[in-house]
Amino acid sequence: MRSLEPLQAPVDPIEALRRVGFLLERSRQHSRRVEAFRGAAQVLRDLDEGEVAQRVEAGTITDLPGIGKSTAGVIEQAVRGELPDYLATQQDEHGGPLVEGGEAYTAAIIGDCHLHSDWSDGGSPIDEMVLTAVELGQEWMVLTDHSPRLRIANGLSVERLSRQLDLIARIDDSLGDAFTLLAGIEVDILDDGELDQTPEMLGRLDLVTASVHSKLKMAKDPMTRRMVAAVRNPRVNVLGHCTGRLVTGGRGTRPQSDFDARAVFEACAEHDVAVEINSRPERCDPPDELVALALEIGCLFAVDSDAHAPGQLEMKAYGAERADRLGVPLDRIVTTWDVERVRSWAAG
């Protein structure tokens, strides 16, 4: 994975709007600001060729729904062949490295086992997530929208997941050999360790990431049994954000769940399940001492973005820095593997 090079003039107005949206997401700006620029880009995509320039010349670009003062300024300067001031400011302020360290690991990460689209609680369509991943130099990604019980995140029923699988196949077919979009899910681990999706649907997926999202304060023994049961399920490939903790961010903080980490990680090692190093800064999950324990036990790892927007795909740099600093060998990180090796591993 690489960082995007700064855009220079001249720049297409749609690309200028997309890049502003990306940089706002990357720097964790308010979602309404992001939506304004990504929405404006979609408005321009729907116009006939030449209409954008005609409207800029006529001074009517703001007559279009969803085009306000800030987005119009970006469009007008781009049409005139200039680098938009707003874009230049965002590139200067938010275009640098996300974190110091781990550069070789970041470069080696070519995949992602955990990300979301607007089919569940993500903010962008699948094709926009894919396009951004391609621009970042990734080779593959697994779309892992939520499972049905997580209603607050618009989790996918069997019917909706079936329709999504058809769309994933069409998108992947259109990509040729340049990139691979794999079908997956972030499936809820239920109270008894069962998975929140039918075995038939899970069997249709390329990869399954399983996570605990409810009753995070469950007592240690039942939480351990719950997680071990999920890890032992042959459909599970990655154990997502295993402690459930939040260390910073708009949602506040949350302590980590109490479970026997050694027992859980030994089950992961036995069943070839990767322990996720969740790269979101508000999660930083698992903490360093648990990464070290999983490393000692012999687990595989997945450095994942848990992205809910295109600009968050690059957050894997945070996880890469931690993996490097904690001495996780690159070959034990499945997101550095080529897609055929990932397919073979996930298929068991």
Does the structure show a pLDDT above 90 at 251?
A: no
Instruction: Tell me: do 176 and 31 sit in the same domain.
Output: no
Q: Are 321 and 297 in contact (CB under 8 A)?
A: no
What's 44's domain CATH number? 1.10.150
Instruction: Give residue 306's pLDDT band: very low, low, confident or very high (50, 70, 90).
Output: very high
Residue 206's pLDDT is 98
Identify the DSSP state of 115.
Answer: B
Which range marks the domain in which residue 30 is found? 13-94
Beta-bridge partners for 251 = none
What number is the average pLDDT over the span 217-245? Answer: 98
Instruction: Tell me: do 85 and 109 sit in the same domain.
Output: no
Q: Which tokens go with 301?
A: 């790892």
Instruction: Tell me: do 84 and 130 sit in the same domain.
Output: no
Residue 30's pLDDT is 82
Instruction: Give residue 252's pLDDT band: very low, low, confident or very high (50, 70, 90).
Output: confident
Instruction: Tell me: do 128 and 80 sit in the same domain.
Output: no
Residue 29's pLDDT is 87
* Dist CA 332 CA 305 (whole Å): 17
Cα within 13 Å of Cα(221), Cβ side: 0
Q: Which tokens go with 224?
A: 């351990």
pLDDT in tens, 48-90: 989 999 999 999 999 999 999 999 999 999 999 999 999 999 9
What number is the average pLDDT over the span 267-294? Answer: 98
Domain finish residue from 94, 129, 160? 94
Residue 324 forms part of a structural domain: yes
In order of 30, 90, 129, the CA distances from 112 in angstroms are 24, 26, 11
Residue 220 forms part of a structural domain: yes
Residue 249's pLDDT is 80
Q: Are 226 and 266 in contact (CB under 8 A)?
A: no
Residue 104's pLDDT is 98
Fill in the amino acid letter for 309. A
Instruction: Tell me: do 248 and 296 sit in the same domain.
Output: yes
Residue 207 forms part of a structural domain: yes
Domain finish residue from 94, 118, 139? 94
Does the structure show a pLDDT above 90 at 231?
A: yes
Residue labelled with tokens 């030994």: 266
Q: Hey, how many other C-beta atoms are within 10 angstroms of the C-beta on 141?
A: 29
Domain finish residue from 65, 94, 123? 94
Count of domains in the chain? 2
What's 148's domain CATH number? 3.20.20.140
Instruction: Tell me: do 137 and 155 sit in the same domain.
Output: yes
What number is the average pLDDT over the span 106-130? Answer: 97
Instruction: Tell me: do 190 and 282 sit in the same domain.
Output: yes
What number is the average pLDDT over the span 205-225? Answer: 98
What number is the average pLDDT over the span 223-245? Answer: 98
For the chain, the residue count is: 348
What φ, ψ does residue 285 adopt, rounded to 5°? -125, 130
Does the structure show a pLDDT above 90 at 202?
A: yes
